[in-house]
Amino acid sequence: MDLLLVLGIPFAGTLVLAFVGARRYAAELNIGFSLATLLAVALLALRMVRSGPLLLWREQFYLDSFNVFLVVLTAFVGFTTTVFSRPYMRVEAQHGRVNARRLRLYHSMYQLFMGAMLLALLTNNMGLLWVAMEAATLSTILLVSLYRTKASLEASWKYFILCGVGIAQALFGTILLYFAAEHILGQQGMTALLWTHLNAVRGQLEPRVLGLAFVFLLIGYGTKVGLAPLHNWLPDAHAEGPAPVSAVLSGLLLNVALYAVLRCKVLVEGSIGAALPGRMLMAFGLLSALLGALFLWRQRDIKRLFAYSSIEHMGIITFAFGLGGPIANFAALLHMTVHSLTKSSLFFTAGHASQSAGTQRMDGIRGLASSRPALGWGLMLGSVAILGMPPFGIFASEFLILTTAIQEHPWATPFLLLTLGIAFAGIFSKVQPMVFGDGAAPKVQHAPSLAPVFVHLGMVLALGLYIPPALAACYTAAARLIG
């Protein structure tokens, strides 16, 4: 029943909001559906904590220590983003950037996007995982193009083409995955793609075919993670879509795509018994982190700045999973959590700052600390947190990743330190004038919803000081599973 609620509520919300998404109460309805989803997820997660890993509905759905925290995180950030989007989208409507038809599209596609991500996280079927990722892609293409400007349409087409090519690669990898298991599980039909079945016999799977499958799966799902050189869609999509869409794209969708890669990594490493998957993740991760940090210096748009920061951080997380081992995997899982919370809060503040100044260009946003103190300090604290300053949680995860790299792969440590240094200087030099520089009064007067910003940052601060035992146990068990 709890699984039916988790998946049924957002899809029901999609249908309801497709009809009433333009009404005045549509934003409140969107919040209500997201809150109901969060409560249903909490019940399902509590059930898993009490009884252990769950196989649900004829083994088609699976919940374990790896995906349970991602499911909760997705539902939570999805809910807080709807709270943020309520005043934000009303200001956009008042200034003619969206009309009633586009508001209906926004609210309905938002719920479809949340449902698709939860489906991708909960499914036990690798084929259905691909379908869910495709559904998430198509729904967000419509959200990115919501403003129907030339730039937003170009960004959505780039997103569609690049991620379409990537998802086709992932489909071919999934077919190869089935082919690798055919001689063991071929008589089971579609159940041969159940991850639990594949994991149980991973040592007997055809290693050469499975290794080739991982290459296609990494390229396919890695495109959606934003790994270089497959990252070109990400800055445009984040910059041209509404700020709430940027928040869930950066804070949630990237995690879900990386989760798909890691599920495949577990199977491949268990089959071929080699370090090739880990080395591939390390290579793509280092390249993405370094390129993302370097491109920060060229940005003039505040949302593009934080989009490239997402590429950098997903590169660091991917590198950590490539390192493997209990400490690096633990740190990567923690980093996924705190990055999602921090980056979504940064897009919240970036969205409100852009509305206040009437532009997304950073040289047009000045003096937030004096004109909008809560907004300015929210932006500064979020930037300090994403840069890994103590005592925020990103400092703890990056410190663990660095110490593990020093011990196991010292050659990679200078690249990591260079990446962190470049990113720190790039972001801080651009955020400091926006917050403390001399600026004019805001052009757009409205009451921003900053509660989600400080709730997220408070949680990131708390995780930097203390990780609850239940969450630490979840991370530890997931780290062992990933290998």
Among the listed ranges 279-283, 410-414, 448-452, which one has the minimum average pLDDT value?
A: 448-452
Measured CA to CA, the distance from residue 387 to residue 305 in angstroms comes to: 13
**Among 148, 348, 106, CA closest to 240:** 148
- Check pLDDT > 80 for residue 442: no
| Residue range 352-358: mean pLDDT, rounded | 88
Among the listed ranges 30-39, 264-273, 287-296, 332-341, which one has the minimum average pLDDT value?
A: 264-273
Q: 324: alpha, beta or left, given left = phi > 0 and alpha = psi -120 to 50?
A: left
Q: 36: alpha, beta or left, given left = phi > 0 and alpha = psi -120 to 50?
A: alpha
Which tokens belong to 403? 């110490």
Measured CA to CA, the distance from residue 233 to residue 351 in angstroms comes to: 20
Measured CA to CA, the distance from residue 239 to residue 254 in angstroms comes to: 16
pLDDT score recorded for residue 186: 65
Indicate the pLDDT class of residue 276, thresholds 50, 70 and 90: confident
Q: Do residues 335 and 319 lie in contact, with contact meaning Cβ atoms separated by under 8 Å?
A: no
Alpha helices in 52-99 (DSSP H): 65-94
Instruction: Mention every residue, 6+ apart, whose C-beta is less than 8 A from residue 201.
Output: 181, 184, 185
pLDDT score recorded for residue 203: 83
User: Which residue ranges make up each domain of the chain?
Assistant: 276-483
- Check pLDDT > 60 for residue 445: no
Indicate the pLDDT class of residue 252, thresholds 50, 70 and 90: very high
pTM for the predicted model, two decimal places: 0.96
Indicate the pLDDT class of residue 230, thresholds 50, 70 and 90: confident
Among the listed ranges 177-186, 304-313, 430-439, which one has the minimum average pLDDT value?
A: 177-186
What pLDDT digit, counting tens, does each position of 107-154 carry?
A: 999 999 999 999 999 999 999 999 999 999 999 999 999 999 999 999
pLDDT score recorded for residue 204: 85
What pLDDT digit, counting tens, does each position of 308-324 carry?
A: 999 999 999 999 999 98
Instruction: Mention every residue, 6+ apart, whose C-beta is less than 8 A from residue 399.
Output: none
> What percentage of the chain has pLDDT greater than the value 70?
96
Instruction: Mention every residue, 6+ apart, whose C-beta is less than 8 A from residue 266.
Output: 199, 202, 481, 482, 483
Sign, Cα dihedral of 60, 61, 67, 71? positive
Measured CA to CA, the distance from residue 459 to residue 36 in angstroms comes to: 21
Q: Do residues 365 and 439 lie in contact, with contact meaning Cβ atoms separated by under 8 Å?
A: yes
Among the listed ranges 64-68, 299-303, 443-447, which one has the minimum average pLDDT value?
A: 443-447
**What amino acid occupies position 254?**
L
Reported residue count of the chain is 483
Which tokens belong to 136? 């998430």
| Residue range 223-228: mean pLDDT, rounded | 92
Measured CA to CA, the distance from residue 33 to residue 14 in angstroms comes to: 9
How confident is the prediction for the chain on average, in pLDDT? 92
| Residue range 263-278: mean pLDDT, rounded | 85
